[in-house]
Amino acid sequence: MAVTTAVTTTVTGAVGTAHTRVEGREKVTGAARYAGEIPFADLAHGWLVLSTVARGRIGSVETAPVLAMPGVLTVLHHKNAPRLHLDYIGLLGVRPDPTAAVFQNDRVPHAGWPVALVVAETSEQAREAAEALVVTYEQEPHDIEFRGDRPDAFTLDGHMPAVTEKGDLEAELAASAHVVDVEYTTPEEHHAMMEPHAATARWDGGRLDVVDSNQGTTWVADELSRMFSLDASAVRVRSEHVGGGFGSKGLRAHQVSAVMAATALRRPVRVVLNRRQMFSLTGYRSPTAQRIRLGADADGRLRALEHRSLSQTSTVWDFVEPSAGVARVMYDAPAHRTAIEAVRLDVPSPTWMRAPGEAPGAFALEAALDELAEQCGVDPIELRLRNEPERGPVSGMPFSGHNLAACFREGARRFGWAGRDPRPGLRREGDLLIGTGTAAASFPAGAGPSTAAVTAEADGTFTVRIAAADIGTGARTALTLVAADALRVPPARIRMRIGDSDFGPAMIAGGSTGTRSWAWAITVAADELRERLAGETGIPAEGITVRSDTTAALGALAQKERHSFGAQFAEVAVDVTTGEVRVRRMLGMFAAGRIVNPLTARGQLVGGMVWGISMALHEEGIRDRASGSHYGGDLAGYHIATHADVPVVEADWVDDPDPDDPVGIKGIGEVGIVGAAAAVANAVWHATGVRHRNLPIRPDRIL
């Protein structure tokens, strides 16, 4: 039946104005349910058992005593688990990490490798039985020693080439008036998001239904369907609210083992990871050792730049932290070489962690630039402006926008950089030495193919369906504003439905591309719907729906080098008696495309900068050589910045719309952390006169 609702539209201009989260009330009242707390009838609970040795083979899994324990339903392990299909390349262009494909053989490639799942009526029963399960091993010697001079380092061309080079590096270095040749290290770092990984799997009318916490429902659904050899339409993954992801929430052991158990038991099974399990099961940022060689003329113009980065990966999956990649974008020189190397150790597989590559890479490169500025006697900002590239130094492509200088100029004005005495170690307040530092930031601004459906409802509202993921960023709200503007209606008339693979393929919340990719698809569908509605006199009860697919539209983006940029500023106080470094204030100015929701955008950028403080001063995952596992693999032993560590942190931006994006978006998810640790480290040098090239800058390293 046709309902005669007038189709009224107005230009609202919601994009660019501050909006609180559309789901904010649900979150603060507890009405928003997270994956580990959604109730299901007849729910069983699985608890993973992880290896206690770092290398070897499983000898036996003594299931009988555990199966006799209260509530225990089954124990899955390599002898009784179904075989999985692993020979495929997934949606993100990479092979599956065998760490997620649990119980396929008896090999143990690292400490904390999943060897069994105990399923019981309650989570407590499952955990007690898991802790009682005896697993024997044929142990082999392991090697977890990461150091910069490993002779077994290798290069691997992946998403980007491992090595780029032009010009004669040695000749240009020899002809340089100033040379910086330094090595920097960063430690193993962990995502430490608030919400641990959790999934519930069940069979529902012949379909596999997984309620999960992830960064992309279609991505996880695709991996599950391939691994379990299921038709894509037979798998549904939902992920409504997510308490942080940062790169670690893809397909992991908890979803796969939950699916195995739900299939075996024919009832819903939930597997939740605890914090300690996350330290070996959900990826991390590899430690890095980075060698930087810079050669410059007397006035600081670069003649030679070499950035070589080494990271570690596991023996089962190749993930190489591309730290030297940042030098391919930031600075040009007649002789320019970057090399991304890795070494395979008996450790868990690392993975994407917020600003993979750029975060550790910019620490090293931007700290080295500061050392060069000191040598040349040139202000660190002026040095960077003198070395702004005309085009992508390696790609040779023009930049779609390069507003780094604007960030530095506006940032310097607000921070009060002018008149800074460049000499280190001169400002003292009692036991405190005071210093300021700066660094540049950049991160690629890409987009991934997405589909969206926009429905004009009979009651005058609009429903948007897209398999987007709001991992705490405010994406749901940002997309509401984008849809409102595209449809020319107020945001209150938009109903945003996300986090469901049944909505069709969409980009993941990753690579700082989520909001842009989804906004693009929504804009295309909304534009077409608005045109359709112009010719309608009424809307039928089932509404009018328009679908979009941006796959073909994104090709144009490849013609230019596209990045967000930023300038980071920090002031620190270093206590010369305790060795404690405290950040007093930070400012980040960014050129990161059109900002959709200033309120949540500021939160994201400030969050990245706080993570930079944490990276500079606190975070460090330490492995025990003997056991191969972590000392203190939990939030008591692994220190992250807390409120007491975080002073006034300001983030703002310059006007920088992407001319080729329908909304002008670039992406802000990761650029906030990039360069933040370097700004802090450079400020510590300015305070003390000592260069700290190994993170974190702990009190014992200061003293």
Where on the chain is the footprint of ligand MOS (CB under 6 A)?
Answer: 215, 245-247, 352-354, 356, 510-511
Residue with tokens 């939030």: 635
Name beta bridge partners: 46: 119, 271
CA distance 78 to 98: 13
Tokens of 249: 């929430």
Name which of 305, 257, 259 is nearest 281 in CA terms.
257
Decide: 199 and 35 in contact? Cβ < 8 Å: yes
Beta strands, E only, 51-206? 56-62, 72-77, 107-108, 114-120, 134-139, 154-155, 163-166, 178-186, 198-204
Taken as a whole, the chain contains a residue count of 703
Q: Which residues contact 358 (CB under 8 A, 6 or more apart)?
A: 323, 325, 326, 441, 442, 443, 670, 671, 673, 674
Rounded to 5 degrees, φ, ψ at 313 are -135, 175
Residue with tokens 């570690």: 312
Q: Which residues contact 486 (CB under 8 A, 6 or more apart)?
A: 522, 523, 526, 527, 530
Residue 81 or 507 with smaller CB distance to ligand MOS: 507
Residue 356 or 472 with smaller CB distance to ligand MOS: 356
Smallest separation (angstroms) from ligand MOS to the CB of 511 = 4
80: left (phi over 0), alpha (psi -120 to 50) or beta: alpha
- β-pairing, 269-272 vs 44-50, is parallel
Amino acid at 247: G
Amino acid at 225: S
SS3 587: strand
Which residue in 195, 306, 571, 670 is the catalytic one?
670
The DSSP-derived string for 177-225 is SEEEEEEEEE-BB----SSPPEEEEEEETTEEEEEE--S-HHHHHHHHH
Smallest separation (angstroms) from ligand MOS to the CB of 250 = 9
Cβ of 181: how many Cβ atoms within 10 Å? 13
Q: Which residues contact 422 (CB under 8 A, 6 or more apart)?
A: 373, 374, 377, 379, 686
Cβ of 441: how many Cβ atoms within 10 Å? 37
Cβ of 499: how many Cβ atoms within 10 Å? 26
The DSSP-derived string for 638-654 is S----GGG--EEEEEE-
CA distance 418 to 401: 26
Cβ of 29: how many Cβ atoms within 10 Å? 8
Position of minimal CB gap to ligand MOS: 247
Give the torsion sign (CA, 575, 578, 581, 584): negative
Smallest separation (angstroms) from ligand MOS to the CB of 161 = 20
Task: State yes or no: cis peptide before 348, omega within 30 of 0.
Answer: no
Q: Which residues contact 394 (CB under 8 A, 6 or more apart)?
A: 164, 166, 328, 329, 336, 338
Residue 456 or 471 with smaller CB distance to ligand MOS: 471
Smallest separation (angstroms) from ligand MOS to the CB of 93 = 14
Answer yes or no: 188 catalytic: no
Name which of 217, 251, 235 is nearest 509 in CA terms.
217
Decide: 501 and 236 in contact? Cβ < 8 Å: yes
Name which of 163, 678, 216, 656 is nearest 445 in CA terms.
656
Cβ of 553: how many Cβ atoms within 10 Å? 16
Catalytic residues: 670
